[in-house]
């Protein structure tokens, strides 16, 4: 019984010790849990955070509604979240951790795949429709707004009619895997810029690159 309570409180604990809400950030990588999805295009949000954890030297642990990790940059505390709710229910995890850690909406950044952008293209936006992306649609429903920051990572659209699901749930080809090494570095720099330099400067420097 003690172990059950211990596990419960561990999963529900706060991760950030920063008291100033404007110095707290939430970076959400969208994806699906399970080994079968690990290297798929649709899981680019998870993968970005996995690479970021190596770069910033932090690890993930299982918390409520997802895996979470924390790192700090020049006095800012960044909570990274990989929801365990599956893609279509991502909004519940995002809303829970925003409220739990008292993180303002303007300090939230969602990382997602986008078939409407060519492979590797980055587009940071402050608002917009879900574009048919079920993860973004659920976040919109839980936040009751379309005005939240999202980084769209282009995965291309090299698929035939009726093959979209197979494509996004398919794995990267070797050429894409090779190119992703540089793309991950670029996204890591973008995330640091978002935290340290603000949204507008980051958009001007990184959008379309």
Give the domain CATH number at 98.
3.40.50.1470
Q: CA-CA distance, 186 to 184, in Å (whole number)?
A: 5
Domain contains 59:
yes
Q: Is 59 helix (H, G, I), strand (E, B) or coil?
A: coil
Domain contains 15:
no
For residue 132, what pLDDT band results from cuts at 50, 70 and 90? confident
Active-site residue, 133 included: no
Domain contains 5:
no
Domain contains 1:
no
Q: Which residues pair with 80 in a beta bridge?
A: 27, 69
Whether the per-residue pLDDT at 9 is higher than 70: the answer is: no
For residue 12, what pLDDT band results from cuts at 50, 70 and 90? confident
Domain that holds residue 56: 21-206
Q: CA-CA distance, 188 to 185, in Å (whole number)?
A: 5
For 119-152, b/e burial (b = at least 16 CB within 10 A) is: bbbbbbeeeeebeebebbbbbbebbeeeebbbbb
Q: How many domains does the chain have?
A: 1
Domain contains 3:
no
pLDDT of residue 162: 87
What would the pLDDT profile of 60-116 be if each residue is shown by its tens digit? 999 999 999 999 999 999 999 999 998 999 999 999 999 999 999 999 999 999 999
Domain contains 6:
no
DSSP E strands in 36-90: the ranges are 61-63, 66-73, 76-83
Which member of 42, 133, 142, 144 is catalytic?
42
Whether the per-residue pLDDT at 14 is higher than 90: the answer is: no
Domain contains 170:
yes
Domain contains 91:
yes
Q: CA-CA distance, 110 to 11, in Å (whole number)?
A: 22
pLDDT of residue 120: 97
Longest dimension (CA), the chain: 54
pLDDT of residue 18: 79
- Which has the higher per-residue pLDDT, 132 or 26? 26
pLDDT of residue 148: 96
Contact 189, 51 (CB under 8 A): no
């Amino acid at each position: 019984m003690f172990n059950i309570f211990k596990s419960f409180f561990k999963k529900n604990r706060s991760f950030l010790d920063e008291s100033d809400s404007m110095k707290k950030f939430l970076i959400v990588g969208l994806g699906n849990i399970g080994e079968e999805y690990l290297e798929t295009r649709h899981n680019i949000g998870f993968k970005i955070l996995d690479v970021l954890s190596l770069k910033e030297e932090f690890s993930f642990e299982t918390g409520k509604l997802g895996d979470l990790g924390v790192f700090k940059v020049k006095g800012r505390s960044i909570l990274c979240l990989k929801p365990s709710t599956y893609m279509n229910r991502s909004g519940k995890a995002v809303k829970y951790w925003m409220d739990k850690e008292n993180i303002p909406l303007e300090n939230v950044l969602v990382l997602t795949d986008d078939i409407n952008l060519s492979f590797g293209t980055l587009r940071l936006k402050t608002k917009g429709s879900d574009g048919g992306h079920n993860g973004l649609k659920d976040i919109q429903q839980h936040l009751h707004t379309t005005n939240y920051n999202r980084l769209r990572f282009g995965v291309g659209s090299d698929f035939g009619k009726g093959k979209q699901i197979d494509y996004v749930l398919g794995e990267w080809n070797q050429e894409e895997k090779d190119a992703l090494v540089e793309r991950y570095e670029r996204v890591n720099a973008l995330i640091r810029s978002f935290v340290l330099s603000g949204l507008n400067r980051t958009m001007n420097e990184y959008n379309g690159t």
